Structure 1
């Protein structure tokens, strides 16, 4: 939907001009409404503020909610180059100049041409949405150009190992309350080796992370792409890259966005696929996904649903219905206190602490999810000595043990950090073993099986129920039968493909 343009004339240096635009959007308005702003020469700053009506509505109905952003003279086409910032509904005003910009927006010259303020009426009540937009142009010479400080993509001198990282974090550069400095400090306090910056629909924070990275913390750049049909993470985007969000599943643009992500070497991860908020449930399918976020923040019922769906996808792969499988991830999605950075996080096997090595490990499923750095998990399978026709063979998380269907295989999980926890072995048949840990939280679980009985094995480590009992992974009832998740592994596949 395109509104009538707001045209500005040239003016003397040191002056400013403001126009106020008002209007009404009826229920069923377009997802995005564009206000053209004709910017003349000689402008060094553009500032925008907005407000909208928020009528009282009956319980169970949604009142108005409207986001805002802006595109510059290079255009507002899907996936184009004109993006200059987005703050969703988190801010009511912003400004852009050559030397600085409001968090969420990109500094740079305010060039002559047609800019477009974009309104995103996320929800429109039955009464409609009345909006007011004020656009102010300041005239004069440009200030000194802002200089970005991007973080390095690897930490020198690191080798093969298991690295801990939270790949879904927000700051004041989108809708978080923490500064980048506070998030980096929180990642270090959580004993993480790496983190990924994933602001909603903007790359604006990429340029500030350089001074906050160090030999003890790798900081990668990314984005949480927030569409009307679900959110997804673009992890490891080249610094400064931006992925468009202005589409639904029916619009056939998601595939192009996925191609852009993959061409850049980044990976695509659907986020919190069962989140109940408007626009959050995942509707795009998993064909282009490199992993899926099945655990988001403290363990809740929507995470249970995500794990169940993911497990069904593993079964499809095991049955030969799909050519590849989608690994699981877990992230904190922390925005502000008291949300904990690193609850949960991923423990990724990589040959070095670098962007490319970590993304390879995540995409290969060579990772497991931990509630905190206090928890450790060693999970592997191995042939029984003397039963595999040669020396003992083994495989770890995300790998395949290629042996005949009748070969005996020992499954072992060693856990620490989960007092009175419950270790579950889960296969394509469901839960096959459940072992309780002692009060120390340390212990091992073992199980003997064959590939003809188990196409894959994965591990869940659960806390006890609120009453202290271990619960039952094979029980039924009105309430959840198991306690919250403490650790979750990707599968190990058994047998020849």
Structure 2
């Protein structure tokens, strides 16, 4: 027994663990490769006073090409009331353009590490260097609860390893004593005081200190209210730890929906509308064929699957799973960039393809992905037509594509198509003969000197400028034979004040930044 002193774990040779198993099945069946280290064993608590601690430390080295996840088994004896872990790793210099060391951390309890299993107890990615778990409390990102005896697993995620390799150190401290009173989660209610069938504004991609954000949940809720939002979705990375905090922060004026951003090695996706406390696993790549099962898990919970920022240029962020099983796609993430331009273009091409093939079409959404100041909550956000301000009705409106995306609550928009005495709105189909005249109308405000674009399966077919005051109505006539769908964009002018350059191979964006983007209105019999 080490008592209160730190012990060096002696099972390494030449910088490598001398007992290891490369797991392509078993521990993480069907998931990304994992490396299991020799276990840390702690003596029983007999003779240790309440509040006494014991600590052990493991050091090791990982070469480039290391497994996606490295598991350190920890044999926890009876009588432990808290487990605390800290870690560090080296960051050697690397040539320009070469990834340096980056390593995440999390933990699973005695229930095991099976993919999608019950053992998950927390994840902080690379945002924290230490965490602690006990019955009454836990570090943000981790789940409070009893520290039961058995084999726990500290998990390292070396998602970037420098050419020199990665040297790591993990320290585990157990505190003995009786459990304290259990933490009681306070989940948010499933409805707020809505206005019946109406348009509701909400940001569906937000982070807090419970993953890699710097904002407290109180600050995020206050920011959502300040942005004029009616609802928001909590989507901390890979953990539901914040779900039980949101209850007191919701209210009649703000619906808070629980979710998760699932950050795999081949792209990130939003699980919107999870049951409070529900966790979705992320430990897989596209080639592991595990993603469809977790998409089905979200659907069984009544939630939505949304590939996030599909063209994000950072490591492991670009979307590689395809769109089968997705309910929407996030085409606008934070301030408008080339990434968003590419995402909208891809979505539009897929929209035309799906309609031509008679498949269900995939609606678009936009979210702020705000983590910290100065990132703006609600830039952008979704404006969804829902039967009421409830979790189920908001999700249903989003899934049906009855929504548009706004950069702020200062942008107002109404988009309709009218023919033969009938009128429909965003996400609906106007079933008319192919040659029947259809009047498409967009009324917008809040975009000074903006440019309105009407886009169909043939591309842009109408463009018109808004006046200096930013408000106006644009009407365009077409037929279903010319347009299988019509969607609208409202753009700001370019930096030089011009409304946009159309199709161009120049060095600047062909259009100014997006101010608003609608889902399509479908035309024809279908």
TM-score range, shorter chain: over 0.9
Q: Paired residue for 1:112?
A: 149
Pick aligned residue for 1:472 from 480, 486, 501: 501
**Helix, strand or coil: the match of 1:204?**
coil
1:451 to 2:494 alignment: no
**2:402 aligned with 1:373, yes or no?**
no
Report the 3-state secondary structure (helix = DSSP H, G, I; strand = E; otherwise coil) of the residue aligned with 2:296: helix
Report what 2:37 is aligned to: 3
The CA deviation at 1:278 is: 0.2
Classify the secondary structure of the residue corresponding to 1:274: coil
CA deviation digits over 1:409-441, x for unaligned, max 9? 000000000000000000000001110001100
Asked if residue 57 in structure 1 is aligned to residue 94 in structure 2, the reply is: yes
1:69 corresponds to: 106
Asked if structure 2 preserves the Cα contact closer than 8 Å seen for 1:431 and 1:473, the reply is no
Distance 1:97 1:157 in 2: 39
Q: Show structure 1 runs of 4+ deviating over 6 A.
A: none
Question: Shift in Å at residue 323 of structure 1?
Answer: 1.4
Aligned-pair distance for 1:263? 0.4
2: CA distance, partners of 1:473 / 1:491:
21
Residues 363-421 of structure 1: CA distance to partner in whole angstroms, max 9, x if unpaired? 000000000000001000001xxxx3xxx011110010011111110000000000000
Work out the CA distance in 2 between the residues paired with 1:166 and 1:221.
Answer: 12
For residues 119 and 92 of structure 2, the distance between their equivalents in structure 1, rounded to whole angstroms, comes to 34
TM-score of the pair, normalised by structure 1: 0.98
* In 2, Cα distance between equivalents of 1:475 and 1:254: 38
Asked if 2 retains the 8 angstrom alpha-carbon contact of 1:431 and 1:474, the reply is no
1:409 maps to which of 418, 421, 438: 438
Alignment check: 8 A CA contact 2:270 2:305 kept:
yes
Name the residue aligned to 1:431. Answer: 460
- 1:235 corresponds to which of 272, 276, 290: 272
Root mean square deviation, CA, Å: 0.8
Paired position in structure 1 for 2:426: 397
The match for 2:161 among 118, 124, 127 is 124
1:175 aligns with 2:212: yes
- Residues 434, 473 of structure 1: 8 Å contact kept: no
Aligned pairs (5 A) from 1:18-417 = 18-156=55-193, 158-320=195-357, 323-383=359-419, 388=420, 392-417=421-446
Separation in 2, partners of 1:118, 1:107? 18
| Residue 447 of structure 2 is aligned to residue 418 of structure 1 | yes
Cα distance in structure 1, aligned partners of 2:230 and 2:187 = 18
Offset of 1:157 from its aligned partner? 5.6
- The question of whether the paired residues in 2 share the 8 Å contact of 1:464 and 1:482 is answered with yes
CA contact (8 A) 2:193 2:253 kept: no
Counterpart CA distance in 2 for 1:143 and 1:487 is 51
1-structure distance, mates of 2:416, 2:383? 15
The number of aligned residues is 489
Deviation of 1:480 (Å): 1.5
State whether residues 233 and 259 of structure 2, in contact with CA within 8 Å, keep that contact through their aligned partners in structure 1: yes
Distance 2:43 2:499 in 1: 72
Give how far 1:67 is off: 0.1
